[in-house]
Amino acid sequence: MAFLRRLSIRSQLFILAGSAILVILVIIFHTYTTMSGMITRNHETYVKQTVAEIKKNVASNRDVLFRLMQTISYNADVQSFLVEKNELRRYEMFKEISRLLTSQRELKDGILDIVVSGDNGASIDINGGSRYVADLNARLPDKSNAYYVDMRQFGTLYGSGQGLVFATTIYYVQQGELFNTRVGTLYFIVDPASLAGEQDYTLKQTNTQIYLLDRSYKIIASNTERETGSRLSELTDRLKQDGIQSLKWQGKQYVVQTESLPGVDAVILSAAPKDALLRELLDIRKQELIILAIGLLVLAVPFMFIVNNILRPLKKMIFFMTTAAGGDSLKFRKRISLKGYMEISIMAAAFNDMLDEIEHLTQRLLETNARLYGTELERKKSELAFLRSQINPHFLYNTLEAITGIAAVNGQGSIKTMTRALSSIFRYSVKGADAVPLSEEIRIVEAYARIQQIRFADRFTVRYRISEAASERVVPKMILQPLVENAIYHGVEPTLRHCVLEIAGEIDASGDLIVDVRDDGVGMPPARLEELRRMLQDPASAPGEADEPRSIGLVNVNNRLALTFGQPSGLSIDSSPEWGTHIRLRFARERRDSDA
């Protein structure tokens, strides 16, 4: 400081001007570095979000195709058609199967054609696609499920040249000598544009190109003018693996990011030119340098004016940041507004954006905590209801055993059977662990069914088909009894004919436990079926216990599966009048927690 005081005012001003120029250059460099990194990271984040959305849409559409193909593959008429040797009989089945294929096609937009090709030489299609897929059978792996085969050229058959071919091999599932024998193949021909779905992923600001490619790097969908079905061989030939890499393409340096889609054996590729990402930031830097050059020409401006213009906004920014860091929630919601030179305005805008993001994340955290609290509250309510139901169980056990003894002495076999079965059910429901092997659950279902068979004078028969592996799986206690009760009271009781109730359990290819409860009773009308499905998708819309106990039972079972095993565990239902009702339970291979 003493040295500066001995210098002339001119020298001091030159030193101040030089220091100011140096500080401004440092600020410009720091701002450019920070913003370039932020822009690059934001772009990568946005591309990842866009890719994730495309990936989600592809997986969702593939799952829909899988379910539709399973419905057709396991249809009894389709299977009979594929094994029927009599051509006249096959012709009689043709119309019924054609109606089935047409109805399934209408359930999903983008399905151009459905082809059923039998190993016996028979085939059915909707729009004439059989001749285009006849040579694909040899290319399919065994037991294919919604397997993506290839993209093919169909000319003007469907109004658009290209079509995606998905295939599922059909195995005969009816009992007999052909059981589990491959009898044909089901093909879905799908519009490529419908696989990725409709969403805005243009990214025009940075000229980012996004492509959905199949295993041969053919274009399924993109945000460019490139033709569907063409290849990006000049770029894909140099790709090493999934991830982000820098490649020179079309005379420019591109940031290329790839991500695989195992479900359909496809790849999502994005390519962004580096110069386009930082174009606006380079313009800002040029403007700042021009402003700095002009500033050098106006050094005659009074010293205090320059100092005030530099220090005042900085002091305001520092004070605001310090106040925000103090933790006062009211002050934290405020935003800073600075009018000054470019650097401080950019910093203030970035800081305000950061505060907005923090507030948004805080709100999401509060909402998440609220949902978790609601889930815990529902669990406590269930536990309280369970405790209320345990009223002197030993007294009830002894009473039921006494009734069993009296019935045996007096030769009342039915009363003895019903009472002993009821005693077993009661003891099972209130004692022991909350989770049991499926074999134990089936044993209690058998006891319950014996009671109802006596009550309904053997108006129905129960069939059990449980694999050994499935019987060892652990399931929540009393998960099947409500479904069997629904089947008897709402499916069997309203009809006067003899009915069959079937309970089946097996482990599917993914390792999940699948339990089916079927009855051939009265079924339910489509409107009622749709209402039940809506309740299963949105439990909050279900009626109260006094309004519709049947709906409550199904919703509760579905909720127990979702809370215990997580996705994709749950309950699905299918029914039609006079056909009966089919309820399927899916138990994921690994439970979400150790409590049932």
Separation in Å, CA 207 to CA 164, 197, 424, 485: 28, 21, 70, 61
- pLDDT tier at 411, thresholds 50, 70, 90: low
CATH 3.30.565.10 correct for 432-587: yes
Structural tokens at position 584:
């399927």
Which amino acid belongs to residue 347? Answer: M
Give the mean model confidence (pLDDT) for residues 1-15.
59
Structural tokens at position 357:
């993001």
- pLDDT tier at 389, thresholds 50, 70, 90: very low
Q: 279, 269 in Cβ contact below 8 A?
A: no
Say if residue 82's pLDDT is above 80: yes
Most confident of 210-214, 282-286, 408-412: 210-214
Half-sphere exposure of 233 (CA within 13 A, CB side): 4
pTM: 0.43
- pLDDT tier at 32, thresholds 50, 70, 90: low
What is the C-alpha to C-alpha distance for residues 489 and 572, in angstroms, rounded to an integer? Answer: 19
The 3-state secondary structure of 176-225, one letter per residue = CCCCCCEEEEEEEEECHHHHCCCCCCCCHHHCCEEEEECCCCEEEEECCC
Say if residue 589's pLDDT is above 60: yes
For 142-169, the pLDDT digits (tens) are 788 888 888 888 877 777 678 888 999 9
For 116-131, the pLDDT digits (tens) are 988 877 888 888 888 8
61 or 515: which leads in pLDDT: 515
For 247-259, the pLDDT digits (tens) are 777 777 777 888 8
- pLDDT tier at 395, thresholds 50, 70, 90: very low
Please give the share of the chain, as a percent, with pLDDT higher than 90: 14
Query: What are the φ/ψ torsions at residue 212 (nearest 5 degrees)?
Result: -105, 110
Which of 83, 78, 120 minimizes the C-alpha distance to 98? 78
Ranges of each domain in the chain: 29-295, 301-389, 432-587
Report pLDDT for 473. 93
Give the mean model confidence (pLDDT) for residues 403-409.
67
156-194 b/e (C-beta count within 10 Å ≥ 16 → b): ebbeeebbbbbbbbbbbeeeeeeeeebbbbbbbbbbbbb
Say if residue 305's pLDDT is above 80: no
Looking at the domain covering 29-295, what would its CATH class be? alpha beta
Say if residue 191's pLDDT is above 70: yes
Angle (nearest 5°) at CA 150 between 267 and 133: 165
Report pLDDT for 146. 84
Element (H, E) at 34: helix 9-73
- pLDDT tier at 518, thresholds 50, 70, 90: very high
Say if residue 532's pLDDT is above 50: yes
